[in-house]
Structure 1
């Protein structure tokens, strides 16, 4: 005879003796002290972590006070955790000879993790153009996956904001500026390094990004042989010749060998060049005033010498 009794599901033992408050508390994010060796860098992390003066200062702070703001990480399927935010704090902890650092562990998919990783770094003042370029590219891909599908150069609307505008909003960059930065990722590494080093300005670099990779490599040779970097107008002409199929190494050398009007009109000194001739207390304005006075005195002396 079959039993008519219904199966009774028993609640877990812990649930029987826990309060609603403790159950809610268990859902809150916890700060954990995780060994540095178990924290791995984010895949294709676009931001450089350098052992520069700022890093040494951060390491000194960590050595004295510890890491004050917890990092964010997510479980790594291969073991340990993947850092989402806190790569510089991780390196500073290594330099400070710490064994662990405070971390908030979250279950994040690739897109959510990418957006947090990018946004947590975009507020830094000393970002290189290459860092911003690859960060914007990664974030735009993530935003695309979360919303409507489109390509990198599209300005398809997502709600009231365009997709590229969404990417640059927190950093104060327009969608158009975001797209211009993303174009820089099409430069070969050697040219992109020159942009980071301020040897090539952003606007010429944007135009050069439309050159084929082999043309960019040839341009490096032309720049080296002529000891010059392209101005905006030169970069635009190089792009035009490339699009028309007429860009050759000879054309590049001819363009790079031109004497720029700006070179004829002005002489520029960097503050680093001038600083060694003045006391540390001198401001740039005071240095300029002093130079003008010295030049005026030199001119008067030269005139007197000519009159004799």
Structure 2
């Protein structure tokens, strides 16, 4: 004869006597003071942490007031914690002589951690093009892993979003601009550094990213030889020749040796050249004022000769 008794799960003593407030508090994230030595940087972190003036100001603030906004980290399987957000605060805390910093620890998978890491930095105004480029690339890949085209919106509600469109929702850049930034990751490091240093403008850099790595290296050598950087028009023509498999060293040299329109209207006199015609006591400002006066006198004489 089968027993009609049903299995009954008994609550633990702790569950019986815990309050709803206590159970909610157990689920709430806690801020922990974690030793700086136990916090490791995020793998392939695209944002540069520099000991610049802004970092020194942050260190001074932390020295005086402490870290006001906790960092975010996740447990590291190899020990300690992997920082997700708060790399600059971590470095500033080191400079301030602190031993610990406040951290919220979360269990995050790689994609979740990447998205938080990128989003926590993207709103900074001082981002370098290379930082924005690699950050967008990392977030794009993370969203694609999560199924960007299947779980972002319902077909009954509206069109499904691409990964780039999803990034653009919480970004200062448009979908097309995000894709253009990501193209910069195809540049060799030396050219990308020149973009960060504003030696190469963004639009020419985007066109140059379509050159093969060996062509980019050849361009680097050509720029060094010609002591110039490509204009947008020059970059576009080199891209076209590359796509047609006609970009040889001679072709590149011919393009890069052209005189740019701006150079045709520009005359440059070095300080050493001008110094030969002025007393040593003359400052650059006084030299400039004197040159302008001489040019004005010369212009008046020419006008007088023309009127005769």
Tell whether the structures are fold-level matches, with TM greater than 0.5: yes
* Cross-structure match for 1:175: 175
How far 1:57 sits from its partner (Å)? 0.7
How far 1:107 sits from its partner (Å)? 1.2
> Deviations for 1:140-190, whole angstroms, at most 9, x for unmatched residues?
11111122469xxxxxxx945443122133222111000000000000000
The structure that has the greater radius of gyration is 2
How far 1:304 sits from its partner (Å)? 5.5
* Cross-structure match for 1:300: 296
On the 8 A contact 1:204/1:231 being kept in 2, the answer is yes
Correspondence 1:247 to 2:253? no
On the 8 A contact 1:36/1:94 being kept in 2, the answer is yes
* Cross-structure match for 2:19: 19
Q: CA RMSD in A?
A: 2.9
Q: Tell me whether 17-26 or 162-171 shows the greater mean CA deviation.
A: 162-171
* Cross-structure match for 1:114: 114
On the 8 A contact 2:36/2:99 being kept in 1, the answer is yes
How far 1:118 sits from its partner (Å)? 0.5
Q: 1:58 to 1:167 in 2, by over 3 A?
A: same
How far 1:9 sits from its partner (Å)? 4.2
Q: Tell me whether 72-81 or 61-70 shows the greater mean CA deviation.
A: 72-81
TM-score (norm 1): 0.83
SS of aligned partner of 2:259: coil
Pairs aligned (count) = 283
* Cross-structure match for 2:54: 54
Distance in 1, matches of 2:8 and 2:116, equals 45
* Cross-structure match for 1:75: 75
* Cross-structure match for 2:102: 102
Gaps of 5+ in 2: 151-157, 269-282
SS of aligned partner of 1:120: helix
* Cross-structure match for 1:231: 231
On the 8 A contact 1:162/1:175 being kept in 2, the answer is no
Q: Tell me whether 63-72 or 245-254 shows the greater mean CA deviation.
A: 245-254
Gaps of 5+ in 1: 151-157, 269-275, 279-291
